[in-house]
Chains A and B, each alone.
Chain A
C-alpha cells in the first residue's frame, strides 16, 4: 500500500492535508493530559537521573581528590624528609671537616698571641742611661785652664773620654732601637696570620650558619606539609607537574637513545643467536638486543638504588651499608661488562657491514676488494664512533633511573589530578544534560500545545464561560498542569 493511497483521503492533497491536521489535532487534544504527563515524567526522571549521577560522581571525585591530596602530601613529606636528612648529612660532614679543626686553630691562635705578647714586651725595653759621672765631668770642665797646662791636658783627656762614651752610648741606643724594630716587624706577620686564622674560623662558622638556614627553610616547608596547608598543596602540585614534564622529556630522549643503542647491537646479535627465528613478531637477535638494553637499564636502576640516589626499592636502601656498597660495586661491574660487550658488538656490526657491502658489490659484478679498499681510509672513524657509542650508551641509560623515579612518583599525582578533573567535567556535563532534558520536556509540552492550539483555544473560550468547579477532576488536573508550567517558567 503506497503512501499516497493512505494519505490522500480526497483527491485534492491540500484538502487531504487539512483533514489530516484536524484529525491529528483532535487526537492530540484528547490525549493531551496523559501525553504531557508522560513527557514531563520522562523529562523529570531523566533530569533526576542525571542529577543523581552527577552528585555521585562529584562525591567520588571528592573522595578521589582527598586520596590524591593524601598521596601528594605523603610524597611531599617523604621527599622533604629525604632532603632534610641529606642536609643534615652535609652539615655533619661540614662540622666534621671544618669544626674538627677548631682545637688546632685555637692552639695556633694562642701561640701566635703569646709570641706577639713576647715581641711586644721586648720592643718596650729602654736603652741604658748615660753614666752618672757626667755632672762631675761637667763641673771639672768649667775650671779655668788658662795658664794651667796640666789642667788643660786633663780636661782634654776628659773631653776625649766623654766624646767616646757619648759615641758608645749612641751606638748602643741605635742597636737597642734596631732590636725593638725587629721585634715589632716580627709581630706583623703573626698578627696577619692571626687575622687569617680567625677569618677562616669565621667563614666556617658562616657556612654552617648558611646550611642551618637552609635546614630552617626546609623545616618550614616540612611543617607546612605536615599541617597540610593549601599553600603547601599548591606548591607540591605545581612541583609535581613541572617535574613530571621534565621527567617525561628526559625519558623520551632516553628512549630515543635506547633506540639508537638497539639499532647498534641488533644486527651483530644475529652472529651470536641467529637471525632467522622469529618470536612474537621479532627476530631472536632483536629480542636479544632488547634484553641486553633492558638489563643495562635494570643494572642502572639497582646501581642508583644502592647509591641511595633513588628510592624505587626501599629494600635496597635499607640494606646494611657494607652490603649496599658491595651491591653497588657488583652493579657497576656488570654495567661495565655490558658496555664492553656492546663496544664489541658495535665493532662486529662494522665488520658485518663491510662484509655485506663487499658481497653486494661482488653480486653486482664489481670487485669486492677494490670497493672495500676505497672505503678503508675513513672507516676507522665510524668504527671508533660506533664503539664509543656502544661503550658509553649503557652508562647513559643507567642514569635513566633518576627521571624514571620522578616520573613514577609525579605520574601518580598528575594522573590523579587528571582523573579528578575528568570526573568534575563529567559531573558538570551530566548536570547540563539534566537541565537540557528538563527544558526539552517543557519545550515538547509547549510544542504539543501548539499542535493542539485550535482546540485549546475553543476550550479556553468555553472555560471562560463556566465556573471553575464545573469541570470536575479533568479540569483540576489541567489546572495543576498549568501551575506546573508556570512554576517551570519561573
Chain B
C-alpha cells in the first residue's frame, strides 16, 4: 500500500503535465473466444461456460469480450454469439456481464453441432474485431481440439495471420481417437498452430487444465 501511495503522490505531479498533453491511455483489454461447435467437440461446451464466467469475473470497465462459434465458415460477424464492451461505470458493467452470460447460456442450450471447423476464419475474424477495439492487451482464446476441417470451396491455405501484440491461448485441446493411435498427430496439430501464431508475431500458449485459467490473463 505504501508503494502504491508513493506512486500515487508521484503521479500527481505528473498529472498536470500529462493531462495537459493529452497523454492518456485506456488500460482496456480485449478478449475474443472461439468456441468449436463441431460434432466431436460440442460436448465440451458446458465446460466453456465456466471459462466464460471466469473471464467475465476478471474483466473491468472498458474491457471488451466477444464469444464466437467456429463452424463451417467462421470469418463472419454472424458467428459472434455475444459481444460486449464494458461501461466505464462499474454498476453498468456488472449488468452487462450478467446479460452477456445469459446470452451465452441460451446459445449453448440451443446449439446445433456444425459439420465443419474453420479455425483460421475464426482467428481472422478475432483479429479484425480486436483491432477495431484498439485494446492495449489482446487475447484470442481458441476453445477447440485444433482439428481444422474445411468445407469444399473455403480457401484458407497459406493464409498468414497478423498477430503482433496478440496472445493466443489454445484451451482444452482434447485428444481425438486417432491421436491415441498416433500421438504425433496431436503434437503435430499443436506444432502447426504454434508455428502459425508465432509466424504472425503472436504469443502462443496451451492450457489443458482448466484449473490453470489464471494463466489465461496473467496480471
Asked whether A255 is an interface residue with its Cβ less than 8 Å from the other chain, the reply is: yes
Q: Complex Cα distance A274/B62, Å? A: 9
Among residues of A, the one whose C-beta sits closest to the C-beta of B17 is A280
Contact B89 A355, beta carbon cutoff 8 Å: no
Q: Complex Cα distance A75/B42, Å? A: 81
Contact B94 A356, beta carbon cutoff 8 Å: yes
Q: Which residues of B have CB within 8 Å of A294?
A: 12
Whole-angstrom distance between the Cβ of B200 and the nearest chain A Cβ? 27
Asked whether B101 is an interface residue with its Cβ less than 8 Å from the other chain, the reply is: yes
Q: Count contacts on A: residues with CB < 8 A to the other chain.
A: 34
Contact B11 A287, beta carbon cutoff 8 Å: yes
Partner of A259, one of B5, B15, B57: B5
Asked whether B111 is an interface residue with its Cβ less than 8 Å from the other chain, the reply is: no
Asked whether A275 is an interface residue with its Cβ less than 8 Å from the other chain, the reply is: yes
Q: Complex Cα distance A281/B61, Å? A: 16
Q: Which residues of B have CB within 8 Å of A365?
A: 53
Contact A359 B98, beta carbon cutoff 8 Å: yes
Partner of A275, one of B1, B4, B18, B61: B61
Q: Given A276-B28, A278-B27, A363-B53: A286 and B8 within 8 A (CB)?
A: yes
* CB 8 Å contact bits of B1-44 with A (1 = contact, 0 = none): 11011011001101100110001111110000000000000000
Contact B91 A276, beta carbon cutoff 8 Å: no
Q: Which of B8, B19, B27, B60 has the most CB of A within 10 A?
A: B8
Partner of B88, one of A270, A282, A355: A270
Q: Given A270-B90, A362-B98: A290 and B57 within 8 A (CB)?
A: no
Whole-angstrom distance between the Cβ of A169 and the nearest chain B Cβ? 101
Partner of B15, one of A262, A277, A280, A362: A280
Contact A262 B89, beta carbon cutoff 8 Å: no
Contact B53 A274, beta carbon cutoff 8 Å: no
Contact A274 B61, beta carbon cutoff 8 Å: yes
* CB 8 Å contact bits of B42-61 with A (1 = contact, 0 = none): 00000000000110110011
Q: Which residues of B have CB within 8 Å of A258?
A: 5
Q: Complex Cα distance A212/B19, Å? A: 58
Q: Is the interface of B mostly helix, strand, loop or mixed?
A: helix
Q: Complex Cα distance A10/B196, Å? A: 70
Partner of B26, one of A262, A278, A355: A278
Partner of A283, one of B14, B23, B27, B97: B27
Contact B25 A274, beta carbon cutoff 8 Å: no
Q: Which residues of A have CB within 8 Å of B60?
A: 275-276
Contact A262 B5, beta carbon cutoff 8 Å: yes
Partner of B101, one of A274, A276, A351, A362: A362
Contact B57 A275, beta carbon cutoff 8 Å: no
Whole-angstrom distance between the Cβ of B4 and the nearest chain A Cβ? 8
Contact B11 A281, beta carbon cutoff 8 Å: yes
Contact A363 B11, beta carbon cutoff 8 Å: no
Q: Which residues of B have CB within 8 Å of A364?
A: 53, 57
Contact A278 B89, beta carbon cutoff 8 Å: no
Q: Complex Cα distance A255/B2, Å? A: 9
Q: Which residues of A have CB within 8 Å of B25?
A: 277-279
Q: Which residues of A have CB within 8 Å of B19?
A: 279
Q: Complex Cα distance A258/B27, Å? A: 25
Known: A275-B89, A277-B62. 9 other contacts (CB 8 A): A267-B90, A270-B89, A271-B89, A271-B91, A280-B15, A280-B23, A282-B7, A287-B15, A356-B90
Chain B residues within 8 Å of A, Cβ to Cβ: 1-2, 4-5, 7-8, 11-12, 14-15, 18-19, 23-28, 53-54, 56-57, 60-63, 88-91, 94, 97-98, 101
Chain A residues within 8 Å of B, Cβ to Cβ: 255, 258-259, 262, 267, 270-271, 274-284, 286-287, 290-291, 294, 351-352, 355-356, 358-360, 362-365
Task: Please list the 4 inter-chain residue pairs (A to B) with the smallest Cβ-Cβ separation, ordered nearest first.
Answer: A276-B62, A274-B88, A275-B61, A359-B94
